[in-house]
Amino acid sequence: MKISNNLITPELSHTGGKETVTDLKARDPERLKKACQGVESIFLTMMLKEMRKAIPKSGLFSDSLQKDIYTSLFDQQVAQEAAESGRGIGLSQVLFEQLSGRR
């Protein structure tokens, strides 16, 4: 599975992936929170994609590349909004508490 780059926000990707969790929690807990939300967003996107596969095909709409692109982008946006608003499944909060040592 390919994970698109648009799920990684610019403020998280500028380090080139060389920053560790210890660096994030020590210097900037807000960036750690954003990173945790990104993980939840990716997880929710994958979950929505798999849930969509379980829906029986009705034949009302034909399968096309355009439909696949639209549903993929829609799922990504729904997952991102859910993770950032705190109305997701709570994965980002659990990750943040665990990685920041607040638990």
Q: What is the pLDDT of residues 41-55, one digit of tens each?
A: 999 999 999 999 898
Percentage of residues in the chain having pLDDT higher than 90 = 47
Question: What is the domain partition of the chain in residue ranges?
Answer: 23-100
| 91 vs 57: which has the higher pLDDT | 91
Q: What is the pLDDT of residues 5-45, one digit of tens each?
A: 444 444 444 555 566 766 665 678 888 999 999 999 999 99
Look at residue 16 in the predicted model and tell me its pLDDT: 58
Contact yes or no for 95/47 (Cβ under 8 A)? no
Q: How far apart are CA 25 and CA 97, in angstroms?
A: 10
Instruction: Quote the DSSP letter at residue 20.
Output: -
Look at residue 3 in the predicted model and tell me its pLDDT: 47
Stretch 60-81: mean pLDDT, rounded? Answer: 91
